[in-house]
Amino acid sequence: MIHTRELTRNFRANGETVPAVRGVDIDVDAGELVSFLGPNGAGKSTTIRMLTTLLLPTSGRALVAGHDVVTEPRAVRRGIGYVGQGNSAGEDQRVGEELVTQGRCYGMSASEARSRAGDLLDMLELSSVAKRNVTKLSGGQRRRLDIAMGLIHRPALLFLDEPSTGLDPHSRANLWEHIQRLRRDEGTTIVLTTHYLDEADAVSQRLLVVDHGTVIADGSPDELKERVDGDQISLTTGTPDAAQHAAKVAGGMPGTRRAEVDSHDETTVRLRVDRGDKALPELLRTLDTAGIEPGTIQVHRPTLDDVFLSLTGRSLRENAA
């Protein structure tokens, strides 16, 4: 659905060249939900703007929905929907009318546009506000209307730039439900950017981690986390001797990468394992056989921030909105 090779975009600012996107190769298959994740200024929006024909690449190639973004921009636009950071609906229109107008702009007949608008209002739970003025919508409703506008011409590929920014947690959760349903029920390919690590983690099938204009990691949230130093298991024991013993037996388990006793309190043992959830039953059996009764056991799975930290030495949280 998307194939880019060496896609590059430089800007000129104050007599200097700003390399915003530096030769990225991206492949997205039909039906995927892929998120771009990266700090402010990483090049996410610039990449999306090139893929949606809003910005010409400086060099490189991009095929989107089967067409070249430079030589066939109109065909690309027909095959995609784009929901940018601002609101796309006009100020003084009713919700339903706005959608029908948008459909007519895409060359639909009046009846076809009305029927498609009705389907989208149902799908995005906007039917009850169809007659309301656009300015009277809540933030979440307005965002869903933006998405409906982007979908009016039945694109197979939808781009969403920061779809949930500015929404309260309830509206964000509701919006993500709709976005995921779109992929599941309609088979729409979805490419989005978000600052919210928890959202990227929860909804993305695949993440493209972007930093300084390049893609520095590509994989599912689980795959990326497994590339970090594994999961951490912390267990407390009653005495330093028990902790040493526990570290020894747990360190011998298959899948344990490291086992060490906390040098401060001397009774806490920290393990690095491939998968905490899989290691836990075996760990409990091993401790039981060795006659060790743990106090508490906690499993900590790396977060996407841990992933970014291990890739760049910097935290994404500082940037998170």
Ligand X SMILES: Nc1ncnc2c1ncn2[C@@H]1O[C@H](COP(=O)(O)OP(=O)(O)OP(=O)(O)O)[C@@H](O)[C@H]1O
Please give the residue ranges that form the binding site for ligand X (CB under 6 A): 11, 13, 18, 20, 38, 40-46
Identify any residues that bridge with 233 across adjacent strands, giving them in sequence order: 271, 299
Minimal distance in Å, beta carbon 260 to ligand X? Answer: 38
d(CA 219, CA 82): 24
Residue 170 CB, nearest approach to ligand X (Å)? 24
Report the run of H or E that residue 7 belongs to, with start and end. Answer: strand 2-13
Rounded CA-CA distance 66/72 in Å is 10
Question: Rg of the chain over CA atoms, in angstroms?
Answer: 24
In the bound state with ligand X, the residue whose beta carbon lies nearer, of 37 and 120, is 37
In the complex with ligand X, which residue's Cβ is closer, 12 or 74?
12
Smaller CB separation from ligand X, 1 or 20: 20
CB nearer to ligand X: pick between 13 and 313 = 13
Shortest Cβ distance from residue 123 to ligand X (Å)? Answer: 28
Establish how many alpha carbons lie within 13 A of residue 3's alpha carbon, considering only the half-sphere containing its beta carbon. 5
Location of structure tokens 């995927």 = 32
Q: Determine the angle formed by the axes of helices 240-251 and 276-289, rounding to 10 degrees.
A: 120
Give the nearer residue to ligand X in terms of CB position, either 161 or 231.
161
For residue 14, give every residue at least 6 positions away whose Cβ sits within 8 Å of its Cβ, in sequence order, or none: none
CB of 84 to ligand X, least distance (A): 11
d(CA 205, CA 3) in angstroms, rounded, equals 18
**What's the closest the beta carbon of residue 43 comes to ligand X, in angstroms?**
4
* Run of H or E including 154: none
103-130 b/e (C-beta count within 10 Å ≥ 16 → b): beeeebeeeebbebbeebbebbebeebb
* Least distance between ligand X and beta carbon 38 (Å): 5
**CA–CA gap between residue 14 and residue 5 (Å, rounded):** 29
Cβ proximity to ligand X: between 143 and 153 the closer is 143
Which among 258, 284, 285 has a CA at the least distance from the CA of 270? 258
Which neighbouring-strand residues pair with 146? none
Helices (H), ranges, 124-168: 139-151
Instruction: Output the smallest distance, CB 90 to ligand X, in A.
Output: 25
Q: How far is the CB of 223 from ligand X (least distance, A)?
A: 22
The residue (of 2 and 117) whose beta carbon lies closer to ligand X is 2
Taking the least distance from each CB to ligand X, the nearer of 45 and 237 is: 45
